[in-house]
Structure 1
Amino acid sequence: MKKEVNILFLGGAKRVSLAEHLIKAGQQRGIQVHIFSYELNSEVPIASVGEVIVGRKWKDASLYEDLSAVIRQRDIHIILPFVDPAIEVASQLKSLHPEVFIPCSSAELCRIMFDKQVSNEWFIRQDVPVPKSYEADGEILFPVIMKPRVGSASKGIKVVYSEEDFREIAAPETYLIQEYIADSEEYTVDCYISQRGEIISVVPRIRLEVAGGEVMSSRTLKDETIIKLSEKIIAADAFQGPITIQFIRDKKNGATYVMEINPRLGGGVIASIAAGADIPAFILAESEGECLQSVTDWKENTLMTRYFKEVIFYADNH
């Protein structure tokens, strides 16, 4: 067993709590965990617990060359993506650097989930319930919600109530158009799938408060409908590592629909970790080649709520 483990975050600028959980999980195993994060800017909160590596944009032609150099120079053992564009990057690095533990799904599956229209079609093929969707040039029953096909953190989402308003939207074909469920509840499910395809944990939580697409308050709950739907989705393809599944429930009739999958750790995963699904420990154990046991005895009604904490940088670096 290694005495030191170097973990590289891809776009983990604000994931301080997750880094602290990884460090704690390492301490419990007698391992010193060092956190590095690949960012465009050195002055980001993760610098308070690790080293920031200023790198290239996700679409830069020299990205993989630069990341490969980082992996060699910092002796990286584990890589974790934290933003959507970094997911496919991580899956490509998995092929380029088999010596590094990168718990993520295939590049092809990541590409499917990164495009909301394509992933919606994938859900339909798997017989997973989704809200009714519409073609931009077809008949539409308003109101609808329009989500950019490629995007994250709720950016660019529009609720459209009439044909007149719809005509004012440029390039409507670049959106996934779905029925708008006004009276609803949103749920996130934090899952971990082993490298052998075994479901290790499935923890639903209700999103109680959201700001800018980021959950601020969330409570775990053992909702059998959501758990079974999540297991059906996972079994449909070769998911690996941490994935986050988003659901919406219509309060009027109780219907539950899947919205999207992010094949990475979600921002609110701390709630599930605190409830007993210790994903940081899973990651460290698998990186050492250990087999995992499924965890189903996590605590329901574990409430996570967030507060703001500042990280200060000085011009003279002191």
Structure 2
Amino acid sequence: MSAEGFPILFTSAGRRVELIRCFRAAAGKLGLELEVHACDLQPDLSAACRDADARFAVPRCTDDGYVERLIEYCEAKGIRLLVPTIDPELHPLALAKDRFAAIGTMVHVSSPETIEIVRDKALTAARLAQAGVPVPKTATADEVRADPASWRWPSFIKPSGGSASRGIGEIASPEELLPHYDEPMILQDLLDGEEYTVNIYIDAHGRLASVIPHVRLSVRAGEVEKGRTTRCPDIGKIAESIVEALPGLRGVSCFQLIDDARFGMRVFEINARFGGGYPLADHAGGRFAESVLALANGRSECASNVWQDGATMLRYDGAVFV
């Protein structure tokens, strides 16, 4: 029996070669002949786009024509599944999810309401704290500026809507706070301790099906370079609380926490998408890519908590030659 053709699109593909290969391997297990499409601002200069079977250019995901271009392409090429890879494109895609479904394309994205929360770090911290999830003390730059004596110094500052470690840094005292920033900024407790990324899978019914933490042994440009999976019941309980706090989460997400000696475990970041460290969870047996493909193909999801503890990833630079 020949494999079934299955066109899939990775948006903002950039360097996500490893993610594409995870999906190719998963498709083989399901008997699907994956036809990989990828897009980016400059697809000829994207390693992932070059690794795909087809590539095309798109405007910035913040442009009005971004979603229209994707819908047009998905309809023309019969795309069955769209997988976003960066945070700024999640909200426009979540809002257009039903439009994609009408042309036969499943978008791997959570609800618009959930995306609005996780794209705003101040709102995320408030929602999680309300649900009992341990988070660092968080306030806007304006709030701290108005009452600096109530704050712990040094502190950590970052854009409330930032991603990919853009604009983050330490700030030693109130005097280092600028009178104005180009975008909303928040301050949080400066955490120190072992850092974890936790890949989770929430099935189509909102059930937490899998929790795979890994220790971030080394990080480069905000993405894990060396990591090791580890089972931790406390992290599993935190994951359950996050899912309860954000009932619109679906499919693959990841969150980051630091186990601080003073405060204990504190969640400081949520990404409602495949994270850069997902290939480690995949290698450990997470089957998240396989589960998303199965769902898009009308089959039962297969992500579970059967995975390998102590699996280690040591990344190195590869090259795509044209």
Counterpart-to-counterpart distance in 2, 1:10 and 1:107: 18
Out of 112, 116, 120, the position equivalent to 1:115 is 120
Quick check: 65-74 or 46-55, which moved more?
Answer: 46-55
> Do 1:80 and 1:90's aligned partners in 2 also have CA atoms closer than 8 Å?
no
Counterpart-to-counterpart distance in 2, 1:290 and 1:97: 19
Q: What's the counterpart of residue 28 of structure 2?
A: 27
**TM-score, structure 2 normalization:** 0.91
Q: What's the counterpart of residue 188 of structure 1?
A: 197
Q: What's the counterpart of residue 45 of structure 1?
A: 47
- One-letter code aligned to 2:29: Q
Q: What's the counterpart of residue 100 of structure 1?
A: 105
- One-letter code aligned to 1:127: G
Q: What's the counterpart of residue 167 of structure 2?
A: 156
Counterpart-to-counterpart distance in 2, 1:305 and 1:93: 37
Out of 77, 90, 94, the position equivalent to 1:91 is 94
Tell me the alpha carbon deviations over residues 205-243 of structure 1, each in whole angstroms, 9 at most, x when there is no partner: 111110111110111000111111011111231210100
Identical-pair percentage: 29
Note the C-alpha offset of 1:293.
4.6
Note the C-alpha offset of 1:245.
1.0
How many residue pairs align between the two structures?
Answer: 310
Change beyond 3 A, Cα 1:9–1:89: farther
Counterpart-to-counterpart distance in 2, 1:257 and 1:155: 21
Note the C-alpha offset of 1:169.
5.8
Counterpart-to-counterpart distance in 2, 1:173 and 1:141: 23
- One-letter code aligned to 2:33: Q
1:287 to 2:296 alignment? yes
1:198 to 2:224 alignment? no
- One-letter code aligned to 1:114: R
Flag as ranges the 4+ runs of structure 1 deviating above 3 A: none
1:77 to 2:87 alignment? no
Counterpart-to-counterpart distance in 2, 1:253 and 1:156: 26
Tell me the alpha carbon deviations over residues 36-72 of structure 1, each in whole angstroms, 9 at most, x when there is no partner: 1121002110133212210111121222221111111
Q: What's the counterpart of residue 156 of structure 2?
A: 145
Counterpart-to-counterpart distance in 2, 1:37 and 1:22: 13
Structure 2 unaligned regions, length at least 5: none
Note the C-alpha offset of 1:294.
5.1
Note the C-alpha offset of 1:177.
0.7
Counterpart-to-counterpart distance in 2, 1:64 and 1:179: 37
> Do 1:199 and 1:294's aligned partners in 2 also have CA atoms closer than 8 Å?
no
**TM-score, structure 1 normalization:** 0.92
Tell me the alpha carbon deviations over residues 180-226 of structure 1, each in whole angstroms, 9 at most, x when there is no partner: 12x31211111111111122211011111101111101110001111
Structure 1 unaligned regions, length at least 5: 314-318
Note the C-alpha offset of 1:133.
2.3
Counterpart-to-counterpart distance in 2, 1:211 and 1:235: 31
Counterpart-to-counterpart distance in 1, 2:297 and 2:124: 33
> Do 2:290 and 2:302's aligned partners in 1 also have CA atoms closer than 8 Å?
no
Note the C-alpha offset of 1:142.
0.8
Counterpart-to-counterpart distance in 2, 1:218 and 1:254: 23
Counterpart-to-counterpart distance in 2, 1:185 and 1:172: 32
Change beyond 3 A, Cα 1:61–1:292: closer
Out of 202, 217, 235, the position equivalent to 1:208 is 217
Q: CA RMSD in A?
A: 1.8
- One-letter code aligned to 2:196: Y
Counterpart-to-counterpart distance in 1, 2:34 and 2:219: 31
Change beyond 3 A, Cα 1:264–1:173: closer
Counterpart-to-counterpart distance in 2, 1:69 and 1:40: 17
Tell me the alpha carbon deviations over residues 1-29 of structure 1, each in whole angstroms, 9 at most, x when there is no partner: 98111111111211111111211211222
